[in-house]
A and B are shown apart, each in its own frame.
Chain A
Amino acid sequence: MAGAPTRRFRYRGRVVEAREGETLLAAIARDALPTLERSTRYHRPRAPFCGIGQCTGCLVRVNDEPLVRACRYHPGEDDRVENGPGWPSVRWDALVVLDLIFRRGLDPFRGFRRPAVAGPIYQRLVRRLAGYGAPAPVSGRATEAVPPVVRSAEVVVVGGGESCRATAARLVTLGYRPLVLDRDRRPGLVGADWLGGVSVTLLGPRVDEGAELPFRLLGHAETGAGLSVRARSVVVATGGYDASLLFGGNDRPGVLTADAALAFSSAPERAPFGQALLVGGDRRAEEVLARLGSRVAAVIAVGEVRPEVVRAASDLGIPLYPRSLLLGVIGRTRVRGLRLRTRGGGPRFSLAGDAVVLAHRRIPNAPLLFLAGAEMAWHAGPGAYYPVLDAAGTTSVPGLYAVGTVTGTLEPARREGAERAAFAIAGRAASDSEALPRVRAEGPSELEGYYRELLTEPRRGRWIACRCEDVLLHDLETANRGGYRGLEVVKRYTSLGTGLCQGRYCTPDALLILSVLEGRPPSEVGRIRQRPPVYPMPLGTLAELDDSVAGEVG
């Protein structure tokens, strides 16, 4: 767009321009997906993976402030941007020897015990290498105190996507003025109070039950301002996100979720890949094909492929590989291809590509529901926990509703579900309405069989079960052999799920793997108890919030 305002900032010393509204990541990933940091334990190169501000793939330093998510940050004029940790640099990190020496993994708790006199030396060494940078100076950019936003609302809708809009629009016609809290910056809606760029991190009714406005929501805006909202009813429309998948080298730069790939799709000609290997055979894959079609080299599915995807791929002349096991990435520093095997003992083969886009499983973004104490039930189809709902979309917590992808309601019934919630809030719920079709609850998960088969294959390279903490599939197996069972115990034994994404990208697959290893259904392997905040929240922001109102979660 000619004439669009730009901002000039320095990335690793050179001047880069960002267009208005463009994220830091989009601005520095014009030609190729950049390697922005090294992983915590093995110093493996890491590049953007999730694209939605949750993973540890794009943590950079901005004006000396560490831990800035490049995919969420909008650069300011004259910002100084540096890569995340790496010694001496992210590109050439000498500590990658750890990755080469400890091929079977590095056990921080059973290792480093001998000789005993070396204990303090190990500790100093590890501390020297740990962490994401020194605390920012007091004058840093995001450190200024910003007065919090304090609101009360009859109805709060958390979300911003289609189901959120449908609920909000219906509420408006019913005479409400809903307050919508959107993590992204999407266009608002006439008649609604629309706050974009705010993350709701805590939602709890526990102490205030029976009060006029029983719900308390805490959050923060990208500006650093805190958010404190009280509400009578809350509609959770937080959608879903694309899950990870376990295979050799699954942390290699170039492996990314469909969320991340689509974040570049506003200008597909500038997507930082040209030959993506798209993993998935369902609606999400269809969506990626529709938006990035020319940049996809092959479609690979762990199971069957929907006819719509077959049609779309054949229209574009893209080959299809249904029922395939992903064995490993080809390429030492970034993706150059994939090694595969047709399921059921079929032939091994490989495909060339410069990215692996994961669109095989979209799972509910449900932490707020867990925190609010809503009853959740395992749904085997996608292999995830969804809220228990009545036909009007009410959760087990009175006044708390869920609509859209987070409920597992299938298209095209999501719009109906969204409207029902609005009618229920207005006290006009139809008492005889039938339950809407949702994702399959019973039976085995599709991926369970996949992983059972995959675990019998010989392995090459590292299989990263938890990207944030560099936990290996091998570590899960060690825990299992030691008698450590159940996701909560394995989490504590291996550190899986204790990193910055708080388990979003590791636990969905770890649950299925452990189910195979422990020989019991995933729902018995359990789940990790959700802890607040849902999104890491700055201390300075929390410090500005008043604590006069009670509210407990978890």
Chain B
Amino acid sequence: MNNLPRAEYRTVVVGGGIVGLFSAYHLARAGAGPILVLDRGFLSSGASGRNGGGVRQQWETRATVRLAREAVRDYRRFGREFGYNPWFRQTGYLFLAESADELARLRRVHDLVRSEGLASEVLAADALSRYVPGIAPGSAVGGTYLRSDGVLYPFPAIWGVYEAARALGVDLAFGVEVLGIDSEAGRVTGVRSSAGPVATTSVVNAAGGWSSDVARRAGLDVPNVATRHEILATEPLKPFLDPMVVRASDGLYFSQTVHGGLVGGLTLPHPAGTAAGLPSSAKFLTAMARALVGLLPRLRSLRVLRAWSGFYDDTPDGLPVIGEDPRLGGFVHANGFGGHGFMLAPAATRRVARAVLGERTDLEPELFAPDRFLAPRLPSTAERLLLG
């Protein structure tokens, strides 16, 4: 017996973040129920409720550009489809380059993005202040800008998919930890959870920062690594900044919400893994403040309201893992999104649902399939434009 609505499900999705919810939603729409979503925390407690809300289509790999372009279309019509307005604001992503080398790299991204039909622009140093009013002179040598990129509020997006999945009959259980995944003859047979066991023939691992833990509970070794990233929000100012601004050198990124507060982060080297929990560090607050004030000196008196942190789910090649694990039938990966689960979820999870149903997807297996890490050599293609 268990404390869950049923004893048997066709699919159990592990992780009730945006990737797990969207996966369950697409599966339910395909009529592949009954479906159960399990999450160890509360709704929105993971990275889906902790990110900066950026949605961009500027990437180094063509496949990611295409997924992101599809996701942007999904978020544009999200309000009509899901009944919640995530205030998806397409006012662009601006990548800043601090050196000629960085600018050359951004130009390569720009060429790729343009070849996919997106109107990316290269900006000269003197054009930057049009997009970032008050930017300190000399702080960047140029940048790239794509207006159809944007930012959204993550929470209403979560509520929308959560309610849509529920309306389609998906069962969701929060505060329930997956303890083990049972298999027989190389196929998934059930999930043991803190709320009791359930029988199932397919499991979707959408556990974000905890995805390697979940894989391990199925007896699978995966190269995913959880890394902690910190973020802060400030008091609300009158909106003066339209785009999301990203600086490649230190991973600084920030945007101004509809509300007026700045939300942003910066990359610091933290020990890998989820064991240390999600504290905030003094180092982040001071480093982030220095970076922001250095770039926009007039923000000196703006106050930090709060800081928090969340886990990226990183893979060795910077690309997500989507597809059935060759070692365990019925165990489908929907993880390794780094810090970009929210950006890619609506599009990527269509492929997750197809993978669960045993259908072919349009994803290049050498880029996304879990098999790629089983080969003796690491994959040759990698995505390295990972911050912001």
Chain A contacts to B: CB under 8 angstroms:
40, 65-67, 108-114, 116, 119-120, 123, 126-128, 130-138, 140, 142-143, 145, 202, 204, 206-207, 216, 218, 224, 482-484, 486, 488-489, 492-493, 500, 502, 531-533, 536-543, 545-547, 549-554
Q: How far is the CB of B358 from chain A (nearest CB, A)?
A: 33
Decide if B279 touches A552 in the complex (CB within 8 Å).
yes
6 closest A-B pairs by CB: A131-B260, A540-B300, A542-B289, A536-B303, A531-B306, A131-B238
B194 at the interface (CB under 8 A from A): no
Task: Using CB atoms, name the residue of chain A closest to B44.
Answer: A492
Q: 0/1 per residue, B286-328, Cβ < 8 Å to A? A: 1111101110111111111111100000000000000000000
Q: How far does the alpha carbon of A483 sit from the alpha carbon of B240 in the complex, in Å?
A: 37
Q: How far does the alpha carbon of A469 sit from the alpha carbon of B169 in the complex, in Å?
A: 34
The interface on chain B, measured as residues whose beta carbon lies within 8 A of the other chain's beta carbons, has a size of 61
Q: Looking at chain A's contact residues, is the secondary structure mostly helix, strand, loop, or mixed? A: loop
Contacts of B79 in A (CB 8 A): 112-114, 116, 119
Contacts of A216 in B (CB 8 A): 282
Decide if B302 touches A539 in the complex (CB within 8 Å).
yes
Known contacts A202-B285, A488-B45, A547-B286; A536 and B280 CB within 8 A of each other: no
B283 at the interface (CB under 8 A from A): yes
Known contacts A116-B80, A539-B304, A543-B293; A532 and B280 CB within 8 A of each other: yes
Q: 23 A-B contacts, Cβ less than 8 Å apart?
A: A65-B301, A66-B237, A112-B79, A116-B79, A119-B85, A128-B239, A132-B237, A135-B240, A135-B299, A136-B300, A482-B163, A502-B306, A536-B235, A538-B302, A538-B304, A539-B302, A540-B300, A542-B285, A545-B282, A545-B286, A547-B282, A547-B287, A551-B281
Task: Using CB atoms, name the residue of chain A closest to B284.
Answer: A547
Decide if B306 touches A123 in the complex (CB within 8 Å).
no
Q: How far does the alpha carbon of A543 sit from the alpha carbon of B300 in the complex, in Å?
A: 8
Decide if B238 touches A531 in the complex (CB within 8 Å).
no
Contacts of B259 in A (CB 8 A): 40, 130-131
Decide if B281 touches A131 in the complex (CB within 8 Å).
no
Task: Using CB atoms, name the residue of chain A closest to B279.
Answer: A552
Q: How far does the alpha carbon of A549 sit from the alpha carbon of B285 in the complex, in Å?
A: 12
Residue from the list A40, A133, A533 in contact with B307, Cβ < 8 A: A533
Residue from the list A134, A140, A204 in contact with B237, Cβ < 8 A: A134
Task: Using CB atoms, name the residue of chain B closest to A499.
Answer: B305
Known contacts A132-B236, A492-B44; A539 and B289 CB within 8 A of each other: yes
B125 at the interface (CB under 8 A from A): no
Contacts of B180 in A (CB 8 A): none
Residue from the list A135, A546, A552 in contact with B280, Cβ < 8 A: A552
Decide if B159 touches A493 in the complex (CB within 8 Å).
yes
Contacts of A128 in B (CB 8 A): 239
Contacts of B305 in A (CB 8 A): 500, 502, 536
Q: How far does the alpha carbon of A66 sit from the alpha carbon of B235 in the complex, in Å?
A: 10
Known contacts A109-B155, A131-B237, A138-B298; A550 and B282 CB within 8 A of each other: yes
Decide if A542 touches B258 in the complex (CB within 8 Å).
no
Known contacts A136-B298, A547-B286; A533 and B84 CB within 8 A of each other: no
Q: How far does the alpha carbon of A108 sit from the alpha carbon of B279 in the complex, in Å?
A: 30
Task: Using CB atoms, name the residue of chain A closest to B305.
Answer: A536
Contacts of A207 in B (CB 8 A): 281
B223 at the interface (CB under 8 A from A): no
Q: How far does the alpha carbon of A112 sit from the alpha carbon of B153 in the complex, in Å?
A: 14
Contacts of B236 in A (CB 8 A): 130-132
Residue from the list A108, A132, A142, A553 in contact with B85, Cβ < 8 A: A108
Contacts of B308 in A (CB 8 A): 531, 554
Contacts of A533 in B (CB 8 A): 285, 304, 306-307
Q: How far is the CB of B336 from chain A (nearest CB, A)?
A: 25
Residue from the list B90, B239, B297 in contact with A127, Cβ < 8 A: B239
Residue from the list B83, B260, B288 in contact with A113, Cβ < 8 A: B83
12 further interface pairs, Cβ-Cβ under 8 Å (given A114-B80, A130-B260, A539-B289): A113-B83, A119-B79, A119-B88, A135-B240, A138-B297, A142-B301, A202-B282, A482-B159, A500-B235, A537-B303, A542-B285, A542-B286
Q: How far is the CB of B166 from chain A (nearest CB, A)?
A: 8
Task: Using CB atoms, name the residue of chain A closest to B285.
Answer: A542
Q: How far does the alpha carbon of A224 sit from the alpha carbon of B303 in the complex, in Å?
A: 11
Task: Using CB atoms, name the residue of chain A closest to B270.
Answer: A552
Contacts of B77 in A (CB 8 A): 116
Q: How far does the alpha carbon of A109 sit from the alpha carbon of B88 in the complex, in Å?
A: 11
Decide if B85 touches A130 in the complex (CB within 8 Å).
no
Q: How far does the alpha carbon of A10 sit from the alpha carbon of B378 in the complex, in Å?
A: 68
Q: How far does the alpha carbon of A120 sit from the alpha carbon of B148 in the complex, in Å?
A: 12
B134 at the interface (CB under 8 A from A): yes
Decide if B286 touches A546 in the complex (CB within 8 Å).
yes
Decide if A132 touches B260 in the complex (CB within 8 Å).
yes
Q: 0/1 per residue, B367-378, Cβ < 8 Å to A? A: 000000000000
Task: Using CB atoms, name the residue of chain B closest to A535.
Answer: B303
Q: 0/1 per residue, B215-243, Cβ < 8 Å to A? A: 00000000000000000001111111000
